[in-house]
């Protein structure tokens, strides 16, 4: 830069580059955000569980020429709330039963606000000791409450996909490359992750599931034996604690035994169902978690946190650092209990996802959180009884960890029925495919859901079914 240019730069009016806002304006904007959020939470039940606009509509309202000059932040906050944030799936809606809901609690929302407001960072201990300690403490609380191996060390990541990839990269680093075993019900993010980290298809074994859609352990044993006889080295077995399709839990005790005998890494994907281990009912269907080499759960699913947050634990102390540390000095991390979280995954700069979870646990306590999780388990069981007593419906898989699947007892277009109910705005639900059979599926994990929400949703599905059947008869006549 020439001297003249520098002088011109220096003589600029500071207000032309000053990004700070007046404290009173910040306070008013903060109140506006709180009001918009309260309005969202208080009116949610009466708004659609999911809204989708076209790209054209959204561009018309949110786009336009790239702004060159300052705009009006207050009216843009309203625009964001009313247009951008309205047009999405409301996973916190009490009748959002599709895919996996995300019933976040206000404590978690408040924690996330504060963490963002204070630019939280949990990368190195030196640069983020407070947020890093919060992450360690929260992971320890959950580890002990769930009953994982007390030696487990962990890290928080963006979601189940990244948490399982991180576990599998670690497993490969410790065990070397070899065969990986999973089931036909393993979440697709894991199969994608395996591909993405460069494990060839020739080393991946998809074991069929039994009639309960749990990994068939006899076939697992057989396949391991076949592979050993053919010169392959079995290294990793992946079980699911709460499949996305049906909530089924693989036989963790037997799979733990197999992996111990075979000297394999035992990974448990509890991204969906894992939080249920915080309740007595959930724990009862997940014996063997303490034997997992790695375990994942997603608080943005069933632990009342807004997106995004997943927890990963690894039972082998130092394994994460051994895999991900950027510098050999990583051993310093483990010597005094402090942790540089950038040495535990592929993320270097990282916000503190733990703050919202720490605040959730402090605000409600584990007893209340457990009761809120239990409520989902019980509501799905209630849905099952309503389905059983509805002549047009039949249960396909029983209520398991908040999920029940079902169908109509006459052939019909299930996807169209689910779509019609979803488009009505009353509730959102989806179909899924169980070994080629299409079924309707309810995932009920929001403690704000009532029995009436469930029964009315089923009633409306049946009404749509009859109306469609009548119309098709009319069209034939």
Give the x/- contact pattern for ligand PLP in 192-221, rule: CB under 6 A: ------------------------------
Q: Output 272 or 313, the one with its CB closest to ligand PLP.
A: 272
Q: List the one residue from 189, 235, 340, 400 that touches ligand PLP (CB under 6 A).
A: 189
Residue 272 is a binding residue for ligand PLP (CB under 6 A): yes
Instruction: For residue 428, list its beta bridge partners.
Output: 96
**Around Cβ 476, how many Cβ atoms within 10 Å?**
6
Of 279 and 340, nearer to ligand PLP (C-beta) is 279
Among 90, 95, 172, 187, the residue binding ligand PLP under the rule CB under 6 A is: 187
Cβ-proximal residues to 48 (8 Å cutoff; 6+ apart), any chain: 90, 425, 426
CB of 189 to ligand PLP, least distance (A): 4
In the complex, minimum distance from the CB of residue 158 to ligand PLP, in angstroms, rounded to a whole number: 7
Instruction: Tell how strand 294-297 and strand 310-314 pair up.
Output: antiparallel
Asked if 402 interacts with ligand PLP (CB under 6 A), we say no
Size of the residue set binding ligand PLP (CB under 6 A): 13
- Shortest distance, CB of residue 463 to ligand PLP, whole angstroms? 29
What is the C-alpha separation between 122 and 120, in angstroms, rounded?
A: 7
Give the C-alpha separation, 26 to 113, whole Å: 14
Q: Tell the smallest beta-carbon distance from residue 295 to ligand PLP (Å).
A: 12
Give the torsion sign (CA, 405, 408, 411, 415): negative
Burial zone of 173 (CB within 10 Å; 0-12 exposed, 13-18 middle, 19+ buried): middle
How far from 371 is each of 126, 257, 270, 412, CA to CA, in Å? 38, 31, 19, 37
Smallest distance, ligand PLP to C-beta of residue 273, A: 7
Stretch that binds ligand PLP, among 212-220, 267-275, 358-366, 406-414 (CB under 6 A): 267-275
Q: Indicate which single residue of 89, 161, 279, 340 sits in contact with ligand PLP (rule: CB under 6 A).
A: 161
Q: List the interface residues with ligand PLP, window 85-104 (CB under 6 A).
A: 100
Distance of closest approach, residue 442 Cβ to ligand PLP, in angstroms? 15
Find the shortest distance in angstroms from Cβ 68 to ligand PLP. Answer: 37
276 binds ligand PLP (CB under 6 A): no
How far is residue 314 CA from its own chain's centroid?
Answer: 19
CA distance 42 to 281: 31
Please say which residue, 227 or 298, places its beta carbon nearer to ligand PLP. 298
Q: Cα separation of 54 and 195, whole Å?
A: 32
Please report how close the Cβ of residue 213 comes to ligand PLP at its closest, in angstroms: 13
For the bound state, the minimum distance from the C-beta of residue 77 to ligand PLP, rounded and expressed in Å, comes to: 27
Which of 94, 402 has the CB closer to ligand PLP? 402
> Nearest distance from residue 390's CB to ligand PLP, in Å?
27
Q: Which of 258, 254, 262, 253 is nearest to 289 (CA)?
A: 253
CB 345 within 8 A of CB 135: no
Q: How far is the CB of 288 from ligand PLP (least distance, A)?
A: 17
Q: Residue 349: how many CB atoms within 10 A of its CB?
A: 9
- Whether residue 176 contacts residue 346, with contact meaning beta carbons closer than 8 Å, is answered with no
Our finding on whether 160 is near ligand PLP (CB under 6 A) is: yes
With binding defined as CB under 6 A, does residue 304 bind ligand PLP?
no
Q: Does 298 bind ligand PLP (CB under 6 A)?
A: yes
Taking CB under 6 A as the binding criterion, the range among 11-19, 26-34, 40-48, 156-164 that sits at the site for ligand PLP is 156-164
- Tell me the C-alpha to C-alpha distance, in Å, between residue 244 and each of 19, 107, 125, 370, 395: 45, 26, 36, 20, 17
Q: Which of 153, 216, 250, 269 binds ligand PLP (CB under 6 A)?
A: 269
Residue from 120, 149, 170, 244 binding ligand PLP (CB under 6 A) = 244
Q: By CB under 6 A, which span of 61-69, 107-115, 157-165, 413-421 interacts with ligand PLP?
A: 157-165
Q: Does 159 bind ligand PLP (CB under 6 A)?
A: yes
Query: Applying CB under 6 A, does 310 fall inside the site for ligand PLP?
Result: yes
Tell me if 282 contacts ligand PLP by CB under 6 A: no
Chain residues in the site for ligand PLP (CB under 6 A): 100, 159-161, 187, 189, 240, 244, 269, 271-272, 298, 310
């Amino acid at each position: 830069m020439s001297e003249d240019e520098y002088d011109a730069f220096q003589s600029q009016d500071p207000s032309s580059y000053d990004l700070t806002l007046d404290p009173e304006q910040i306070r008013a904007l903060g109140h506006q955000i709180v009001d918009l959020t309260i309005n969202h939470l208080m009116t949610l039940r009466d708004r659609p569980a999911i809204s989708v606009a076209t790209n054209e509509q959204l561009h018309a309202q949110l786009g336009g020429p790239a702004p060159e000059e300052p705009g009006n932040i207050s009216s843009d906050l309203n625009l964001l709330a009313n247009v951008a944030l309205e047009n999405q799936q409301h996973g916190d809606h009490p009748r959002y039963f599709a895919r996996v809901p995300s019933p976040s609690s206000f404590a978690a929302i408040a924690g996330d606000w504060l963490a963002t407001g204070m630019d939280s960072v949990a990368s190195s201990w030196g640069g983020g000791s407070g947020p890093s300690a919060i992450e360690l403490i929260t992971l320890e609380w959950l580890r002990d409450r769930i009953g994982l191996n007390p030696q487990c060390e962990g890290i928080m990541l963006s979601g189940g996909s990244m948490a399982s990839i991180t576990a599998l990269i670690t497993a490969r680093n410790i065990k070397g490359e070899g065969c990986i075993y999973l089931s036909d019900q393993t979440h697709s993010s894991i199969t994608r992750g395996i591909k993405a980290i460069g494990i060839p298809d020739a080393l991946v074994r998809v074991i069929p599931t039994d009639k309960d859609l749990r990994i068939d352990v006899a076939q697992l044993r057989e396949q391991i034996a076949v592979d050993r006889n053919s010169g392959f080295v079995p290294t990793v077995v992946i079980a699911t604690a709460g499949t996305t399709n049906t909530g089924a839990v693989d036989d963790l005790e037997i799979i733990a035994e197999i992996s111990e005998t075979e000297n394999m890494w035992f990974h448990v994907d509890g991204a969906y169902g894992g939080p249920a281990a915080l309740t007595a009912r959930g724990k009862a269907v997940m014996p063997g978690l303490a034997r997992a080499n790695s375990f994942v759960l997603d608080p943005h699913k069933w632990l009342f946190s807004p997106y995004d947050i997943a927890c990963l634990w690894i039972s082998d102390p130092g394994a994460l650092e051994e895999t991900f540390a950027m510098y050999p000095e990583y051993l310093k991390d483990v010597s005094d209990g402090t942790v540089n979280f950038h040495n535990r995954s592929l993320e270097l700069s990282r916000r503190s996802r733990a703050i919202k979870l720490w605040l959730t646990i402090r605000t409600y306590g584990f007893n209340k959180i457990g009761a809120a999780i239990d409520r989902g388990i019980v509501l799905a069981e209630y849905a099952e009884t309503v389905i059983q007593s509805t002549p047009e419906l039949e249960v396909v898989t029983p209520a398991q960890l908040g999920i029940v699947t079902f169908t109509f007892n006459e052939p019909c277009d299930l996807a169209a029925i689910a779509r019609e109910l979803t488009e009505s705005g009353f509730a959102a639900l989806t179909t899924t495919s169980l070994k080629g059979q299409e079924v309707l599926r309810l995932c009920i994990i929001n403690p704000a859901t009532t029995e009436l929400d469930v029964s009315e949703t089923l009633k409306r599905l049946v009404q749509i079914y009859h109306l469609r059947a009548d119309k098709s008869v009319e069209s034939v006549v």
